[in-house]
Copies of this chain bind each other. A is one copy, B any other.
Amino acid sequence: MQAENKPVRALFVGFGNVGQKVAEILFLERERHPNVRSLDLRVVGIVTKSRGSLVNNNGVDVVKALQEIREGGRFSWTNFELTNIKGLDAVRQLDYDVLVELSTLSIAQKGEPALSHVREALNRGKHVVTANKAPAAFAYHELTSLAHDKGVSFLIESTVMDGTPVFNLAKHGLKAASILGVSGVLNSTTNFVLSRMEQGESLEAAVTIAQKEGFAEADPRHDLEGWDASAKITVLANALMGASLTPYDVDRQGITHVSVADAQTAVKAGKHLKLICKAWREGEQVKTKVALEEIERGHPFAPIRESGSILMIETDLLAPFVITETEPTLSDTAFGVINDLMSLGS
């Protein structure tokens, strides 16, 4: 799309931390990031649940929008671009090239409303970029085949390990390989909490710190009960191993039952408690599991502390290899969204 020298028209649904960071990088910090400059993005709509919604067919004033959120927590009542449009209506009616779906994952609602937004956009022949795990965790094959039929992209790089290349790596770097299994530590909050519990901090105190540092949600149960990890391993199983699973199919365990004594006993035995995500093949089936495991000190997953993530990929031809994300920030997730926006149609 870039080759045509026409701006890419984007509709943002959801404009929380990730959406704002995407906008900051592209509209405020553009000069500091030379490789994003070739992306000419025109935002024709920003639809949110609690911050108001902006629509402008000639391009929303993104700098002003960011400033309003910073100052008032929402788009200003005086902003002439302000409308009452809802997400699904915007997806159905506005004139855009790509839907940027950044709403929050809802396991209880089986991925809605994000799933419907994505399905509708693809049906209209629009590209979709999403950092929301829901669509790929609940309907990966339906959506990829719909995108294929319509000749558009459905890109999800930021759904697992933030923007660290996982899906791009597999799509381009593992064409000749069959992926036999993936495993890793994929949820920052639980890994951070377990690291702190090893040092004697209580689960509750550690969660409070994780919330302050900005990577745990206000309601941390989604992380602590293993749902975020389950969604991630489902996306990996669906996208990399051809499975058709949902997060409800994962053999799931969380960390709410872990005590400080458990964490410290493991350390004394030279081990670390980690919430490990796994997908593997059993005959024609792909199985998935999220479970607390004792990891030996020499294991590739042992060095991952605090908020980092790690993923091991096993294939039929390559020796197992590992991707480690050291200290992710919001920029990492925003990067993945921007990288996807630069990959539309390719």
Contacts and interface: CB of A to CB of B under 8 A. Distances in A.
Interface of A: 25, 32-36, 39, 157, 162-165, 168-169, 171-178, 298, 300, 302-303, 315-329, 331-332, 334-335, 338-339, 341-343
Contact of A343 (B172, B177, B302): B172
Given A33-B316, A169-B169, A169-B173, A323 B325 contact: no
Contact of A169 (B168, B316, B327): B168
A300 B342 CA distance: 30
Most buried by B among A165, A174, A332: A165
Contacts of A36: 176, 317
Contact of A326 (B39, B322, B329, B338): B322
Contacts of A176: 33, 35-36, 39, 335, 338-339, 341-342
Contact of A178 (B34, B39, B317, B326): B34
B323 A335 contact: no
Given A303-B303, A317-B25, A318-B332, A339 B165 contact: no
A303 B169 CA distance: 23
A240 to B, nearest CB: 12
A33 B317 contact: yes
Contact of A321 (B35, B39, B164, B339): B164
Contacts of A300: 303, 324, 326
Contacts of A177: 33, 35, 335, 339
A32 B316 contact: yes
A20 B341 CA distance: 41
A317 B332 contact: yes
A35 B178 CA distance: 6
A326 B173 CA distance: 17
A163 B172 CA distance: 12
Contacts of A331: 317-319
Contact of A163 (B317, B327, B339): B317
List of 4 A-B pairs having minimum Cβ-Cβ separation, nearest first: A165-B173, A168-B173, A322-B324, A317-B335
Contacts of A343: 172, 175
Contacts of A303: 298, 300, 302-303
A343 B264 CA distance: 49
Contacts of A35: 175-178, 316
B332 A326 contact: no
A42 B34 CA distance: 42
Contacts of A34: 178
Contacts of A327: 319-320
Contacts of A173: 157, 165, 168-169, 172, 339
